[in-house]
Amino acid sequence: MNKKRQEIWNKSGGKCWYCGCVLADKWHADHFEPLGRLPNAISYNYEDTEYALIRTKVETKRVPLNPERDHIDNLVPACPSCNLMKGMSSVEGFREIIYRFIESLNSYSNQYKFAKKYGLIVESQEPVVFWFERQNAG
């Protein structure tokens, strides 16, 4: 592990910043405040000499909205599943995504609905609390 990754890993002592699982070898450095990316249109004008036509080609490339957030102070260790699920969300957006899983499961998953009907799943109204929040509560 390089020095920068070691410093990020040390922030939690090797636990996922969000779910608190013990990080395996393949952990991610998550941007706590997301970089945010928007497609940036780039236009190219070029002349097709054979037909003497001017054509315009537009390509898109994703560019960070907040490149200053790509800084060690904003990087936290995360397990791949939390990092990928959080995506480009803020921590409150991530919390909202997790809350909505129950709604989504009740709408679309027959397996979930059956497991619930037979008492194998009990839903709770508990708030989603992340690992790093539990550390501050103590």
Q: Which residues bind Zn ion (CB under 5 A)?
A: 16, 18-19, 79, 82
Tell me how far, at minimum, the Cβ of 98 lies from Zn ion, in Å. Answer: 11
- Supply the DSSP symbol for 64: E
Nearest C-alpha neighbor of 15 from the set 96, 135, 97, 98 = 135
Angle 91-108/110-117 helices, nearest 10 degrees? Answer: 80
Tell me how far, at minimum, the Cβ of 85 lies from Zn ion, in Å. Answer: 8
Closer to Zn ion by Cβ: residue 16 or 75: 16
Tell me how far, at minimum, the Cβ of 23 lies from Zn ion, in Å. Answer: 8
CA distances from 116 to 64, 97, 101 (A): 42, 21, 14
Closer to Zn ion by Cβ: residue 60 or 81: 81
Could you give the 3-state DSSP secondary structure of residue 53? strand
Tell me how far, at minimum, the Cβ of 6 lies from Zn ion, in Å. Answer: 19
Closer to Zn ion by Cβ: residue 16 or 76: 16
Closer to Zn ion by Cβ: residue 62 or 100: 100
Could you give the 3-state DSSP secondary structure of residue 137? helix
